[in-house]
Structure 1
Amino acid sequence: MIVRILSSSATFNGVIYNTDKVDRGQGELMLVRNFGSLQGLERLRPEDYRNYLKMLSARNTRVVKPQFHAAISAKGKTYDPEALTDIAVKWLEAMGYGEQPYLVVFHKDTDNHHVHVVSTRIGRDGKKVSSAFEHVHALQHLNQIMGVRPEENVARDMRRALDYSFSTTAQFMMVLESLGYALKLEEGHIEVKKFGQRLHHIPVSEVEYKAGLYVNDARRQRQLRAILEKYSSIYRTELTKAEQPLAGGRSQPVKALTSDLSRFLEAKFGLQLSFHARDNQAAYGYTVLDHANQTVWKGSDILPLKDLLSRTGQQEFNKQDAVRPEQPAEKLKPVSPETVQLYAALLKAAVRNYPDLAQGLHDLGLSITRAHDQLLFTDPSAQVQVPLGELLSDATTGDHAAVQDYAASKGFSYVPPVNIAGDIDDEQINGRNRRRRKKARTNTR
């Protein structure tokens, strides 16, 4: 859940923007509150709301642009219009706008459900609603309403970042930045901030010690090179400024560089390519964040930047590229050891990079099916099936738990392996005892 404070206005054009959405069938007027006698009239026009807000705002001529316009957005369609409206009302109350006249309009024209709120910054007493640290307070109040505790999340994310393999302090900082944190390197420690507040700090010495334990994984390095070489010949590698989504389906460019290849690799494999450039100059290097394997790579160790950008792929990335229609099981191909390694990494990405395994599998275009008395990890687009057990040889307890929960939701049975071997002598003794009690023997050695 995110919130954005949008542009102010002297003419309350936010009302027109939102009512136009309603007229085009892209929005729904959810709530009109505190407009006094105006609400007793029928068939109100957008101009009626604007005039009321202008009239109230005229009580304070020092504020040139009194419009207050904000958007609260959920991820995907996880919240329906009514739930988002309830959240917006609570948020407006916390921001000091509970008694102000305001509109709440639900938008359904993007992939993410969101609501817009429009009000005035001027109260009936002519005083301006405080806007001090407005953006910071907006996030803090929304977190409180949603039960988000940043101080608890940062401890979890810090442990998660330290679990990555990295060779420099800068690489560790990139992992935290990928989790949405703002970092500042102070003398002897890294300051970690989010939502405008300082949440944590970690000694640089601790990070440097972990970096000193880095061991290069040559096998994974070869895998990543093969992936980059293959898909850079398909997708465009031309670098452009990344765009930050804004309310209403709009976007604005940011400093980060991206490409169609980068977007595909992140959606399909959990590989985040971070390009390094000064101001508006050409990129001079890049880093690969391999989230599926929790490793950070210097890009040139995988594929030199010059070689990567010289590839001739022409295809633009579409979100559906990472999701392919299923093919009949009988057409699936046998797999090699290298393929097993690749799909083990994809399974980890589906478990670790998404809220749950079901969403991860869906977004990556993968599935878990049952055939021949075993669970199979299936990639319909490549017509590949791999026995699930072969992909979980080095999985964590959390990985096994995620697979077990998903299997249960599909009506499958998955029992995580128990990696505790019994003593043979004890088993043989127990076997004798079972025979004496006329019970089945579990060890015949």
Structure 2
Amino acid sequence: MVAKISLGNSLYGALVYNGEKVNKEKGRLLDTNKIYNDGSGTINIHRAYEDFLRWMPAHTKTERPMMHISLNPHPDDRLSDTDYTRLAHEYMQKMGLGDMPYLVFKHEDIDRHHIHIVALRVGTDGKAVSDKNNFYRSKDICRELEKKYNLHPAEQQKVSPDTPIKIIDPSGDLKRQVANIVKLVGMRYRFQTMGEFNAILSLYNVKAEQTDGCVNGRIYHGLVYFATDNAGNVIAAPFKASRIGKFASRTAIDGRFERAGKEIGDKGLAHHTRRVVASVLAQSSGMDDFIERLKAERIDVLFRHTEEGRIYGVTFIDHNTMCVLNGSRLGKEFSANAFEQRFNSASSETLPVAAPDIENHVENSDRQDNEDNAFTDDGFSAGNSHQHSVGNENSGRDYDDYLPSIPGLDLFQTGPGFDPEEEAFYRAMQRRKKKGRRPKF
């Protein structure tokens, strides 16, 4: 049996989470301790919250007064509701929490049924039950209960760089799947922007969104993660990075951006992708042929389209070097505008196709990457690797410049890419105008 313990300060949030499972008939309330229970298996969230508050001290120095525990028996164990209830009470007693107010829920939303316990960890005197060595104590208690009730030994699955990454299964434990995907992608791939991060996540039906704001005068920068279907549609409520793990936090991902940039530059990893893409492009008869030929070379390419069908972004995922690269990082020949002219321009059918000048880009890769970063094709539409077309209503903004007006909505509103030469000319003219202004006295 595997136990997971989370400490927090959002008691109401924990009640709502479990209450929604019950309301959707994917769970039921098994038992309570010092909290009202009418025996129907349902829960009145408001009344339960009020009952908890009666046990909450008026003053406490404990910042995280509640705990959310999940007990997960081995999938081969078949337990009755009575068994689950007995396990929950014995576990809480052995953890020193037997006298605290708590609720025991059974979750049936996945094949592996399990229980959740929502409890206070602060007594009426304001003192918290010690959480020292919680992990080791909990593990020993689980082993003890397994032997007592003849349960199969179960250990938490360890994630390693060799663990295969699996696409989201909507019928499974979404939170765990999202966590595993984010962790494995972070361990295995190199990416330098949120767009590139989302490109690789999309292959497994996950997407990430930045959340920036200000609460009580404090500025915060966070991330939330979504599970999606094959069409990129969100299929569940978002998971905050803090619920997934430190490896999924904004700080951790920003750190990976910085390290990836150095590794790609120092090892020249982009050169490999550039050479292969150039070779395949010279042999391809069209977009579909180009995509399939690259797949044979273990490179996924994701095109992004406006509603009118214009290509405004392209991202390459090289599974050989484990690098995710926007087209602009490889050079102008691989930018969104170049592919638009190649595959969508009416005149492209009559123009001879020449292979891009690879050596020139190899010699000037650092300069080219720096120039193109200002015009990155970083927009992305979630979906799997076979979906390379998406509609768009915001037809004038690049992904990295776009910030949603309401957190959680329209993450992937992107527009056609900029023309670097036109943009550079415009900026140069703006600087000249500023220099030519006379000072005011």
TM-score band, normalised by the shorter chain?
0.3 to 0.5
Q: Which has the higher strand share?
A: 1
What TM-score do you get using the length of structure 2 for normalisation?
Answer: 0.36
